[in-house]
């Protein structure tokens, strides 16, 4: 009888230890739940009166240790993954803003120099500007989530493409409607830019500058419409608008650049919460 009882206790203890290991492994991979652990504890208490009960008291400590380790490992692995796309997006927007600023500055320089003595260059500049804006908006939408995530940029691109065609037709037919066309375009494009900046303000730096730029564009559009029919030179009148827009893009790019230089990359993650 003594031998039989010893064998029974030994078998029970072995089963309890095996069960403890199983539950501990389950906790590490995230499969154990409160219900499962409670059921396992009950089985241990019933199956192993001696060794099983000893393991019974150790199981909560092992489970807590496993959960803490899993959480710590998860946090360590996820932080870089969360940070990297945000930093890439910031770098992309900085590149976009600097590129658009550079293009506009070059366009303005040509408008006030070469275009003054060349009607062909002046006409070409008037067609190129909205065409470039359409391309830039499509580029922006593609690199920041696609068309579904950026409806305002896609709509802005289509409108800029239509304006390009309208300007080319007006120049070809000598309709003298350029300022009116550019004015209407500046109003709509400014409002769309404002909407884009408002949508991005919580996730991207420098958007307060883009809000100002969009509002200013809408106001300038009204001025262009009012100037239609006057003797004001079309290219030089619009060049002032383009120059202000270039400054806005430059400031936005610098805001993102200075944030990076100060090592504030952590803000990109904290502001997502």
Q: Tokens standing for 257?
A: 């650049």
Q: How many residues are given for the chain? A: 273
As a whole number of angstroms, the distance between CA 163 and CA 127 comes to 9
> Cα separations (Å) of 62 from 20, 21, 55, 70, 177?
9, 10, 10, 12, 79
**Is residue 123 within 8 Å of residue 170, measured between CB atoms?**
no
Q: Residues 126, 236, 130, CA angle at the centre, nearest 5°?
A: 25
pLDDT of residue 32: 44
As a whole number of angstroms, the distance between CA 141 and CA 148 comes to 9
As a whole number of angstroms, the distance between CA 107 and CA 246 comes to 10
164-196 pLDDT, tens digit each: 999 999 999 988 899 999 999 999 999 999 999
**Is residue 241 within 8 Å of residue 216, measured between CB atoms?**
no
Helix/strand/coil percentages in the chain, nearest 5: 85, 0, 15
Q: Residues of 36-72 as b/e, b for ≥16 C-beta within 10 angstroms?
A: ebeebbebbeeebeebbeebbeebeebbeebeeeeee
pTM, two decimal places: 0.66
SS3 state of residue 13: helix
pLDDT of residue 263: 59
pLDDT of residue 201: 85
- In 3D space, the residue among 248, 175, 174, 190 whose CA is nearest the CA of residue 223 turns out to be 190
**Is residue 160 within 8 Å of residue 178, measured between CB atoms?**
no
pLDDT of residue 65: 44
Q: How many Å is the maximal CA-CA distance in the chain?
A: 118
Helix axis angle for 207-227 and 234-261, nearest 10°, is 180
Q: pLDDT tens string for the chain (273 positions)?
A: 444 444 444 445 445 445 544 544 444 444 444 445 445 544 544 554 544 444 444 445 444 544 444 444 444 343 444 456 777 888 899 999 999 999 999 999 999 999 999 999 999 999 999 999 999 999 999 988 888 999 999 999 999 999 999 999 999 998 889 999 999 999 999 999 999 999 988 878 778 999 999 999 999 999 999 989 888 889 999 999 999 999 999 999 999 888 776 655 454 444 444
């Amino acid at each position: 009888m003594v031998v039989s009882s010893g064998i029974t206790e030994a078998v029970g203890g072995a089963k309890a230890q095996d069960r403890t290991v199983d539950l501990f492994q389950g906790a590490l991979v995230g499969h154990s739940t409160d219900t499962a652990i409670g059921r396992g504890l009950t089985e241990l208490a019933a199956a192993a009166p001696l060794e099983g009960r000893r393991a019974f008291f150790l199981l909560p400590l092992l489970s807590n240790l496993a959960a803490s380790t899993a959480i710590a490992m998860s946090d360590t692995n996820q932080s870089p993954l969360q940070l990297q796309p945000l930093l890439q997006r910031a770098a992309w927007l900085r590149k976009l803003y600097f590129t658009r600023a550079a293009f506009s500055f070059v366009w303005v320089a040509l408008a006030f120099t070469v275009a003054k003595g060349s009607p062909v260059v002046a006409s070409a500049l008037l067609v190129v500007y909205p065409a470039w804006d359409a391309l830039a908006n499509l580029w922006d939408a593609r690199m920041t989530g696609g068309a579904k995530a950026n409806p305002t940029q896609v709509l802005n691109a289509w409108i800029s493409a239509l304006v390009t065609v309208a300007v080319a037709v007006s120049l070809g037919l000598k309709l003298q409607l350029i300022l009116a066309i550019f004015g209407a375009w500046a109003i709509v494009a400014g409002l769309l830019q404002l909407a884009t900046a408002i949508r991005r303000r919580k996730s991207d730096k420098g958007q307060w500058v883009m809000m100002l730029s969009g509002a200013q564009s809408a106001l300038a559009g009204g001025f262009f419409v009012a100037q239609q029919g006057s003797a004001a030179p079309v290219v030089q009148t619009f060049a002032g608008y383009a120059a202000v827009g270039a400054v806005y893009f430059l400031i936005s790019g610098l805001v993102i650049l200075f944030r990076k230089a100060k090592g504030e990359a952590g803000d990109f993650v904290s502001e997502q919460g």
